[in-house]
Amino acid sequence: MPGMRLDFLKNPSQRAATGKSMPLKQVEAVLLYGRPEQRAKVVQKILPNAYALCLSKASHHLLLSILAKCDGLIRVQMLYHLRRKIRDLSFSPVGNTIVQEMLEKLPIQQRREIAEVFVLNAEADEFRRLCEHPFGNHVAQKIMEHPSSREVLEERFVPHISFLAVHPYGQRVVVKYMESTEEGWRAVSRALFGTDEERDVEEGKIALLFQPLDDNMTVSALLRHPLVSVSVKDAICAHLCEYAAEYLNSRKETSAATAAAQAEEDEFPLPDFGYAKLKKDEAKHDFPRHYHAYVTVFGYGDIAQRKEMWESLRSVTGLIERIVSHKTAVAIAVAAFKTLPESQESLWAATTMMPNGTVIDVIQLARDPARTMLLRAMIESCGYLLTADQRKRLAGAAL
């Protein structure tokens, strides 16, 4: 588009706020489909204004298009224009996507330069704060994926593993570190349990991983990793078995006094600069807790761990009935049904029977948001149990 003026690129946020037109689609079309000389002209206008464009939801996709379609030299030039703003962009809800894409597309040396931003002229805990940030943790995960950037920050990351492993955002970086490195599991085991060998693990150290209300991704990663010691996996499994009733049963709602104190506390809340702790209504988050860890035990544990887990669930009165009827916890029942044949009869009986003894029709099972998941698992694993009439009725209801 030879006659198109590109002055609007200088301050896209202001133009978007005032409602002025921005022909961004035309600019992106030139980047994607224009002739080399047209693309070069647009890039020359975009790069000096790259930082402002990165911060705007309306225009940041232009930078993503440049990273996707332009050659390595242009990508390096983009880093040159943004090098002093990498830290700010990493904490930005929009700009962090640009930093992630640069880590993916840039050469090895430039990846190191991005990682060095959090080391050179930075506080000792700068990278830890990046891992804890709701947007910055995505950049930290991307840094962990690539060896060239990871080796720059590994020394500053490892000392904080024990804290980050139970942080709602930091745990994502710990899991990525375990998945992306050959010895990551060893560093995590040493940080959390003091050893990476086949030794007994203290119950207190295991309990710390289950202090957060939400599912801990670190626990699931430890259970999935093939090199983590069996003693650690057994200790986690034993903890889950012991506290199955507490984690999977409904908890009592908070008292009126507690609720009043919470309301008074929240009347004049402090400003949130992106580091505030997560607050959730416990009454709404009462069931289940750590359910994904139970799913992981059935999916990745050995036969002894699966049997122990199943027996612990059966031993709690009414727990199986609650699991098969809850749309979140039913994932535990599905995992047990698929991996442990001994559980199928009991689970199917609990699925097809109401608490008052009434048998649930197969059409009602298919329409129930929780029980339908077990019906599907049953069809996959042992579909021969369905009669011809039930199959016909299900097919007719689907039309």
Closest by Cα among 320, 328, 395, 379 to 351:
320
> Number of C-alpha atoms within 13 angstroms, CB side, residue 160?
21
Q: Share the mean pLDDT of the chain.
A: 85
Listed as own residue / partner, the contacts of 335-340 with beta carbons closer than 8 Å and 24 or more positions apart are: 335/294, 335/295, 335/298, 335/299, 336/298, 336/306, 336/309, 336/310, 337/374, 337/377, 337/378, 337/381, 338/298, 338/377, 338/380, 338/381, 339/298, 339/299, 339/306, 340/298, 340/306, 340/307, 340/310
Tokens 């950037």, residue?
Answer: 149
Tokens of 191: 């940080």
Q: What percent of the chain has pLDDT over 90?
A: 58
Q: What is the mean pLDDT of residues 232-249?
A: 94
Q: How far apart are CA 300 and CA 227, in angstroms?
A: 12
Q: What is the mean pLDDT of residues 356-364?
A: 86
Query: How high is the pLDDT of residue 253?
Result: 38
Query: How high is the pLDDT of residue 207?
Result: 93
For 285-327, the pLDDT digits (tens) are 556 899 999 999 999 999 999 999 999 999 999 999 999 999 9
Q: How far apart are CA 184 and CA 332, in angstroms?
A: 28
CB 99 within 8 A of CB 89: yes
Query: How high is the pLDDT of residue 14?
Result: 54
- 377/15: higher pLDDT: 377
Residue 332 has pLDDT above 90, yes or no: yes
Q: How far apart are CA 346 and CA 325, in angstroms?
A: 14
When pLDDT is cut at 50, 70 and 90, the band that residue 1 belongs to is very low
For 361-371, the pLDDT digits (tens) are 889 989 999 99
Query: What is the per-residue DSSP string for 211-242?
Result: -SSS--HHHHHHHH-TTS-HHHHHHHHHHHHH
Secondary structure of residue 67 in the 3-state scheme = helix
Q: What percent of the chain has pLDDT over 70?
A: 85
Instruction: Give ∠ CA 101-102-105 in degrees, rounded to 5.
Output: 85
Tokens of 332: 């535990």
Residue 127 has pLDDT above 70, yes or no: yes
Residue 32 has pLDDT above 70, yes or no: yes
- 359/152: higher pLDDT: 152
- 336/283: higher pLDDT: 336
CA distances from 187 to 22, 196, 213 (A): 50, 8, 25
pTM over 0.85: no
For 155-180, the pLDDT digits (tens) are 999 999 999 999 999 999 999 999 99
